[in-house]
Structure 1
């Protein structure tokens, strides 16, 4: 059950149980605390995960917290006992508290170091991944409510150095952690800058600034209004083809072309408040150049017929990628396979959850369906679907997409609203240039972010190796 091998402790050290060097969950004489006295209050969120931080600024009257909360004081070590807080490292040394008294969540164990024991020495030992990793295996209770017991904590052994060495060890740990923390902070700053850089790239792409020089070098490119004319011709041709198929299925053969008059001409987009587009670009509604359809409603009460097939939910759609690691299945009739099927190149847009989040289906997995929480967007020829993914992410991250949502607390991007969204349409050749430039930048961002994540994981491993070395006597002088 020990988290570290304690077979060979350094000379002058001893091995003790935590219950021998700390009072675990000591009783507090709450009757001595006046009811109107202000005391510090520490709920679970006030203790940081894995960094030893603790916020004791919140205050309450003692009468409000004497019952139903855990008492502690300055110099105690708080140890989160419940999952997942324990595994996440919610532990800290209590600093100065209001009027000498602190109260907090009952999900904290309190370790009060005895004379000759340094609080931060205890903290660094019990907060190490080695200690927490073993403790996790001995948690008891129901799933989701597992806890580290008081008995378990008391029985755990700790390599105990003499007090003067404890202080030197703590000082050395904190010196090395300080350097490590500075490096980690720098990595996180770079990662934050990558997000800002990505936002800037997407903004430049949808505003035409990314290809400003390209346009100067290619002045004779066919403008988007000509492209739109061809798209509209294809739109009408597809409608006529579908209408003819419907009539033939009913055994009807049109005698003339009057039926073509039922075709609904596309509606112009509402461009009020929208920015001016670069020369050669046009605004167009999504439903003018694409088919927009919601997926199948999930209703487990209805009779299950047909084939059981995997389907995508909004949780599967991330920005720019589809995660198929957590797929569910439901039944689809043969008559629904085309209606709710998706194919390579379809854009999937979240209707709820994080409305507008979008990705393109790569078609690598056949027989994939989709649920009503998603819009399936299938563009006519002449529009690169990556553009709408870039555009939606830019609008969403800049807060400009919300004007198209419905609902005050739970936001939805309804089909009607999404279909009417004004979409930028650049010339076809410029679309290729935009996608090429954006993907080049996103590739650099992705590679850099991946390297930063590797460095952050390496830093955490180094942090744990520092603790391991410390409690094996590696910092003895």
Structure 2
């Protein structure tokens, strides 16, 4: 048995004995230059196609193996890929052609299985130089067995790809399901309405419009009793002309109408090892505030006092590089230790007797809220931002208070089911990834395809490959001396 081989009729050889390296024919062309040369020829880089160009360097099936920037140390990622037909390759990928017409796909799969730790260099961006690449050990089965291995791998991976595609569809449907559940909640179709129940039970209830007016009158009364001078400013009412009709007993309200106290931006403070804690913007995660995401700021307890976080506070991000994330909100669900909030967050404190904080968190992700925020967001230096005025005019559907608990319970129940289903899909994705790795591992352990003692010995195949390599080297040297570079064929 050959050392390192899974069985006696395979042989091991260096990379350079098996794969012809065509790197000298690569020509990098930057993006600016490619814009001047539009065409239909694919332009390839380390891990795939990166553009188009008007001419070609190669016109055949080849293997491309990343030279730098490929995921060399990630066992579940491909490092090599095949290209076919006319192509142009830059200097971020090694260009390879198998000797003796052996199947390129066989070597592509084997290159995906190589342990690259001894051969790559660099820290932030790993590089596979040509010299160590030449000495990567590869396994050479008999040629007919190579074809059987490729056939077996393709058969298994085709079925696995179908499973993965089905999982992708399930994941997309779960996302649509969550959105449809939220839409049903916003439109009053998720739980029995208070109007329906009171009619059936023969009792009265407080419509949301009455609740809102009561809260607004109480707010005005507090202002008048505070002794403040000037004219009281009524909060802006929503413009409902283009809004859908709500269920009986519901009403539209602006955030400004629902506030228990004015909106408030946090404060920006530099880091200090022994200062008072302040949240980071990264504390806002999936509709919640992660109190563990904080730093120590260069300010005192007295300075931080106006910005202390309380349970039930709702915070909104002021800015983000992506419009999808600007204005996202998160709720403080637990009693916090003494910690303040930064200038990157806006505090929205709504009385829990008007709108349940947990329901506010859900409604904040609704399409009507996101449409308003994304419409109002302004971009500066690539950062989308919203201000207090934008948030005050954000419109929310307000159900009767008694109905809010039923809506929230149903939302949480259905969300729990979706979460469990999503977790199962994620686990199945991981299983599919592990199975893909196992299929390739079995293939190059000689356990995936039949072995036929009548196959030509691998030693003879390797001899021919080495002879072809010598002939290719002589041809290259001859061309070099004659100064006649040619297009690869």
Q: TM-score if structure 2 supplies the norm length?
A: 0.78
Q: In the alignment, which residue of structure 2 is the partner of 1:91?
A: 80
Q: 1:232 aligns with which of 216, 227, 230?
A: 216
Encode CA deviations 1:258-278: one digit per residue, 9 max, x unaligned.
Answer: x46654333322334222222
Other structure's SS at 1:115 match: helix
1:320 pairs with 2:287: yes
Q: 1:472 aligns with which of 442, 445, 461?
A: 445
CA deviation after TM superposition for structure 1 residue 306, in Å = 8.0
Q: 2:389 aligns with which of 383, 397, 416?
A: 416
d(CA) in 1 for partners of 2:446, 2:195: 67
1:218 pairs with 2:190: no
Asked if structure 2 preserves the Cα contact closer than 8 Å seen for 1:202 and 1:391, the reply is yes
CA deviation after TM superposition for structure 1 residue 74, in Å = 2.4
Q: 1:79 aligns with which of 65, 70, 84?
A: 65
Matches within 5 A, 1:429-448: 429-448=402-421
Q: In the alignment, which residue of structure 2 is the partner of 1:14?
A: 11
Asked if structure 1 preserves the Cα contact closer than 8 Å seen for 2:439 and 2:448, the reply is no
d(CA) in 1 for partners of 2:3, 2:92: 29
Encode CA deviations 1:60-106: one digit per residue, 9 max, x unaligned.
Answer: 236xxxxxxxx555222112232354444353111122xxxx22332
CA root-mean-square deviation: 3.1
TM-aligned CA distance change 1:174 to 1:277, over 3 Å: same
Q: 2:379 aligns with which of 401, 407, 411?
A: 407
Q: 2:24 aligns with which of 23, 27, 36?
A: 27
1:135 pairs with 2:116: yes
Q: In the alignment, which residue of structure 1 is the partner of 2:476?
A: none
Q: In the alignment, which residue of structure 2 is the partner of 1:68?
A: none
Q: In the alignment, which residue of structure 1 is the partner of 2:435?
A: 462
Higher normalized contact order (CA 8 Å, seq sep 6+, divided by chain length): 2
TM-aligned CA distance change 1:323 to 1:208, over 3 Å: same
d(CA) in 1 for partners of 2:256, 2:409: 25
d(CA) in 1 for partners of 2:221, 2:47: 62
TM-aligned CA distance change 1:232 to 1:39, over 3 Å: closer
d(CA) in 2 for partners of 1:416, 1:465: 56
d(CA) in 2 for partners of 1:38, 1:229: 65
d(CA) in 1 for partners of 2:185, 2:26: 66
TM-aligned CA distance change 1:444 to 1:61, over 3 Å: same
Asked if structure 2 preserves the Cα contact closer than 8 Å seen for 1:80 and 1:109, the reply is yes
Matches within 5 A, 1:154-173: 154-173=134-153
CA deviation after TM superposition for structure 1 residue 468, in Å = 0.4
CA deviation after TM superposition for structure 1 residue 28, in Å = 2.6
TM-aligned CA distance change 1:186 to 1:273, over 3 Å: same
TM-aligned CA distance change 1:396 to 1:91, over 3 Å: farther
Asked if structure 1 preserves the Cα contact closer than 8 Å seen for 2:46 and 2:70, the reply is no
Other structure's SS at 1:78 match: strand
Encode CA deviations 1:290-309: one digit per residue, 9 max, x unaligned.
Answer: 23212213567xxx798242
Q: In the alignment, which residue of structure 2 is the partner of 1:60?
A: 54
Q: In the alignment, which residue of structure 1 is the partner of 2:424?
A: 451
Q: In the alignment, which residue of structure 2 is the partner of 1:289?
A: 258
Q: In the alignment, which residue of structure 2 is the partner of 1:393?
A: 365
Q: List gaps (5 residues or longer) in structure 2.
A: 28-36, 451-489
Q: In the alignment, which residue of structure 2 is the partner of 1:126?
A: 111
CA deviation after TM superposition for structure 1 residue 340, in Å = 2.0
Asked if structure 1 preserves the Cα contact closer than 8 Å seen for 2:311 and 2:332, the reply is yes
Q: In the alignment, which residue of structure 2 is the partner of 1:331?
A: 298
d(CA) in 1 for partners of 2:342, 2:63: 49
Asked if structure 2 preserves the Cα contact closer than 8 Å seen for 1:73 and 1:94, the reply is no
d(CA) in 2 for partners of 1:367, 1:420: 31
TM-aligned CA distance change 1:126 to 1:401, over 3 Å: same
1:311 pairs with 2:312: no
Q: List gaps (5 residues or longer) in structure 1.
A: 31-35, 48-53, 63-70, 244-256
Asked if structure 1 preserves the Cα contact closer than 8 Å seen for 2:55 and 2:88, the reply is no
Between 82-91 and 357-366, the greater mean CA deviation after superposition:
82-91
Asked if structure 2 preserves the Cα contact closer than 8 Å seen for 1:72 and 1:110, the reply is no
Between 350-359 and 269-278, the greater mean CA deviation after superposition:
269-278
d(CA) in 2 for partners of 1:217, 1:288: 27
Q: 1:103 aligns with which of 73, 76, 88?
A: 88
d(CA) in 1 for partners of 2:352, 2:216: 10
CA deviation after TM superposition for structure 1 residue 145, in Å = 2.6
d(CA) in 1 for partners of 2:118, 2:344: 39
Encode CA deviations 1:453-476: one digit per residue, 9 max, x unaligned.
Answer: 000000000000000000000023
Encode CA deviations 1:199-233: one digit per residue, 9 max, x unaligned.
Answer: 11111111112235664223433211232244335
